[in-house]
A and B are shown apart, each in its own frame.
Chain A
Amino acid sequence: MKIASELSLQEKLHILADGAKYDVACTSSGADRRGRKGCLGNAVAAGICHSFASDGRCISLLKILLTNHCIYDCKYCINRCTNDIARAAFTPREVCELTTEFYRRNYIEGLFLSSGVWNSPAFTMERLCETLYLLRNVYHFNGYIHVKAIPGAPDELLAAAGYLADRMSINLELPTGESMKKLAPNKNHNMILRPMRMMADTIAQHRLAAGKSAQMERSRSNRYLTGSIFSKERLEQTGRVAGNTQPAKTQGTKTYALQKMGKTEWKQPFVPAGQSTQMIIGATPETDYHLLRTTQYLYQNYDLKRVFYSAYVPLNEDGALPAPDTPVPLLREHRLYQADWLLRFYGFSADELLSEQRPNFNEELDPKCDWALRHLERFPVEVNTAQYETLLRVPGVGPKSALRIVQSRRYGKLDFAHLKRMGVVLKRAHYFLTCDGKMM
């Protein structure tokens, strides 16, 4: 094996892109920033995809590890210290040059920088910060940056990263303490949830200082949905307060703003695209119900912008893991994403979709159809009069088509041909709709 210093940039890129690809977060969304003279880059709220890899997943960011050296031994991870694999590390300048040169050629929308735990969490986080500092201030990069928060890193370093990045994420990976003990023996939930809480509170305070609401922006559709998990009433039930008030602080937590910073720094953007996390699907026995409830809990209590699911890909042989030939649970992952969508855009909550008695999604039906078939008493709904909220529950109707229906029916009666042109998928929807009292 070559020693690290002999590796070419291309060999390093191979090793460090290979080690980063199992993190599924790929979006470049949530930040909106105009370009600036003398700088390179801007950010577009909806995010931009730049290519699609052979597995069909979108490539938006240059997703790499700073290093795959790691002192920890998470069983499922290719980079764990007990694996005998080629190791490498980028210098901060190499990361900056790759990012800016790729960006200028429009290969990518920005950087996703993760890392193994190199020497110590503090050492690693410091190298990450150094890299981002260089990228922003010397290379004048104004595009999107997503950076990992390393569990166990000092608060000041996490805060420093928060002023440089658009999004930060710290992966929960396993939703229960037992699973975590078994598969990630060097970590525990507290090491993940504590920084997540502090990031959440710090983000909220910066948002308030900038004259925004404490809570992250959500899809526009949520404004018209009374039962949405982000509605004021629902958030109040969780003890987190919505709207223009101070974020509720859990006892004993503080926020990250650096001590030495004056008042004005509160106005600086701090993780403007919010936090995200990911959970591994299928390495441990949790049910879909458990995963979806955890997702909802994270949205409501930590104001996470996204929760990602990563179907478990067997990389290591280990008694604690599923057998190496276990198929990748792609369909299960897909169903969870569909359900996540229903939470974020359609006003559903986890308990409407699953329960202790029905803890897993139907393989054959998507969660929305499945829900509709269990609630036939609510259908059909009349297109020309039904509330936005009710229309959104119809299989085949999405937030856009529902909005178009509500807007255009003010000026005249709608029929099925109109619906089709508005983007309603009639193949599914027609069982659940009437137009002027008539079925299709």
Chain B
Amino acid sequence: MTVFTCKDSFEAMMTCIYAAWASGIGHDDVRLQLEPVFQRELFCTYVHVEADVQKTEKVVSAIQKKISYEAYRQVFLASVSCGEDRLDAIYRFLVLGFSVGAKLTGMLFRPEVMWVLELSRKAANEANFFREFTRFALADGIYVAHIEPKCNIVAVTAEHFADRMPSARWMIIDDQRRIAAVHPADCPFYMTELSGEELRRLKETEAEKDAYTGLWIEFFQTTGIEARKNPGCQRNHMPLWYRRHMTEFLV
């Protein structure tokens, strides 16, 4: 068994898929795994693959042309989801896809297809959650948000806000992964990594309160109807875990 490994980024994963395919070893005799690899298995050869832009483009265009755009969408979302074995799942999905073509995503009775669909749904759902629950606080003229998603969806979330607030300065920080989407006024956003010190400084923005924080809490508390109080229902819709960075629950 040969195990191809790579870093946790979309480019690295696509390049890894390219390498495994091009190796000619045979699909049954390769496995794809994300790094870090903590426990190496005996009798396996490990091959590390570095991200490569051209190979990534080749794989992406092959998926779009030979399978479908929908398949590409699912692959992308699955790649940012949080299943540990998602890279291998994507590989199996594509092996089937390159043999059946456009009907791939309709073949829900095949485990490979269902697996990637589930991973992509997990990421899409979480990105949707953060469209709703991301909260910005104003600090030095910049609207700053902190999130801690399970999937790596900060860029997907930022797309949404880039359309919505094109002329504002804002940033969304993934506190766990220490990455941020930074959006200058009237420019596209870019992704950046944050040092521990930068993150610590930016974390303070969350404690920042301006006039509108208090007004929002006033509204939030007033708009619930006492005679219909239903904390169970509130919790179902908004798991406690998501509330960590939400202004109205920080009080």
Which residues on B sit within 8 Å (CB–CB) of A9? Answer: 211, 215
- At the interface, yes or no: A139 with Cβ under 8 Å from chain B? no
In the complex formed, the residue of A with least CB distance to B225 is: A55
Which residues on A sit within 8 Å (CB–CB) of B218? Answer: 10, 13-14, 17
> Closest approach, in angstroms, between the C-beta of A318 and any C-beta of chain B?
17
- At the interface, yes or no: B231 with Cβ under 8 Å from chain A? yes
Alpha-carbon distance A313/B229, docked complex (angstroms): 12
Alpha-carbon distance A17/B218, docked complex (angstroms): 9
Residues 3-42 of A, flagged 1 when their CB comes within 8 A of B and 0 if not, give 0000001100110011011100000000000111111111
Decide: A50 near B133, CB < 8 A? Known: A40-B165, A62-B219: yes
- At the interface, yes or no: B138 with Cβ under 8 Å from chain A? yes
- At the interface, yes or no: A414 with Cβ under 8 Å from chain B? yes
A window 311-326: CB within 8 A of B: 311, 313-314
Alpha-carbon distance A102/B219, docked complex (angstroms): 11
> Which secondary structure dominates where chain B touches chain A?
helix
Tell whether, in the assembled complex, residue A53 and residue B223 are in contact, meaning their CB atoms are under 8 Å apart.
yes
B window 121-145: CB within 8 A of A: 131-138, 143, 145
Alpha-carbon distance A48/B162, docked complex (angstroms): 16
Alpha-carbon distance A104/B170, docked complex (angstroms): 9
Tell whether, in the assembled complex, residue A105 and residue B230 are in contact, meaning their CB atoms are under 8 Å apart.
no
Pick the residue among A48, A55, A62, A412 that contacts B107 (CB under 8 A).
A412
Residues 204-226 of B, flagged 1 when their CB comes within 8 A of A and 0 if not, give 00000001111110111111111
Tell whether, in the assembled complex, residue A52 and residue B145 are in contact, meaning their CB atoms are under 8 Å apart.
no
Tell whether, in the assembled complex, residue B228 and residue A328 are in contact, meaning their CB atoms are under 8 Å apart.
yes
B window 106-123: CB within 8 A of A: 106-109, 114, 118
Which residues on B sit within 8 Å (CB–CB) of A422? Answer: 108
Tell whether, in the assembled complex, residue A408 and residue B106 are in contact, meaning their CB atoms are under 8 Å apart.
yes
- At the interface, yes or no: B168 with Cβ under 8 Å from chain A? yes
Alpha-carbon distance A56/B226, docked complex (angstroms): 11
Which residues on B sit within 8 Å (CB–CB) of A378? Answer: none
Alpha-carbon distance A54/B135, docked complex (angstroms): 19
Alpha-carbon distance A104/B165, docked complex (angstroms): 8
Q: How many residues of B contact A (CB 8 A)?
A: 55
Tell whether, in the assembled complex, residue B167 and residue A56 are in contact, meaning their CB atoms are under 8 Å apart.
no
For chains A and B in complex, what number of residue pairs have CB atoms within 8 angstroms?
157
B window 193-251: CB within 8 A of A: 211-216, 218-234, 236-238, 246-248
Alpha-carbon distance A58/B233, docked complex (angstroms): 10
Tell whether, in the assembled complex, residue A104 and residue B143 are in contact, meaning their CB atoms are under 8 Å apart.
yes
Tell whether, in the assembled complex, residue A54 and residue B164 are in contact, meaning their CB atoms are under 8 Å apart.
no
> Closest approach, in angstroms, between the C-beta of B149 and any C-beta of chain A?
15
Tell whether, in the assembled complex, residue B164 and residue A42 are in contact, meaning their CB atoms are under 8 Å apart.
yes
- At the interface, yes or no: A194 with Cβ under 8 Å from chain B? no
Tell whether, in the assembled complex, residue B163 and residue A56 are in contact, meaning their CB atoms are under 8 Å apart.
no
Scoring A36, A42, A52, A62 by chain B CB atoms within 10 A of each residue's CB, the highest score goes to: A52
- At the interface, yes or no: B83 with Cβ under 8 Å from chain A? no
> Closest approach, in angstroms, between the C-beta of B134 and any C-beta of chain A?
5
Pick the residue among A34, A55, A107, A413 that contacts B224 (CB under 8 A).
A55
Scoring B109, B214, B229, B233 by chain A CB atoms within 10 A of each residue's CB, the highest score goes to: B109
Residues 30-73 of B, flagged 1 when their CB comes within 8 A of A and 0 if not, give 00000000000000000000000000000000000000000000
> Closest approach, in angstroms, between the C-beta of B236 and any C-beta of chain A?
8
Which residues on A sit within 8 Å (CB–CB) of B226? Answer: 55
**Can you name 12 A-B pairs with beta carbons within 8 Å?**
A14-B218, A17-B223, A40-B164, A50-B133, A51-B220, A55-B225, A57-B225, A106-B135, A143-B164, A314-B227, A407-B106, A412-B107
14 more CB-based (< 8 A) A-B contacts, given A106-B135, A413-B109: A10-B215, A34-B163, A35-B166, A50-B133, A52-B233, A54-B230, A55-B226, A59-B223, A102-B216, A104-B165, A106-B134, A408-B107, A411-B103, A421-B108
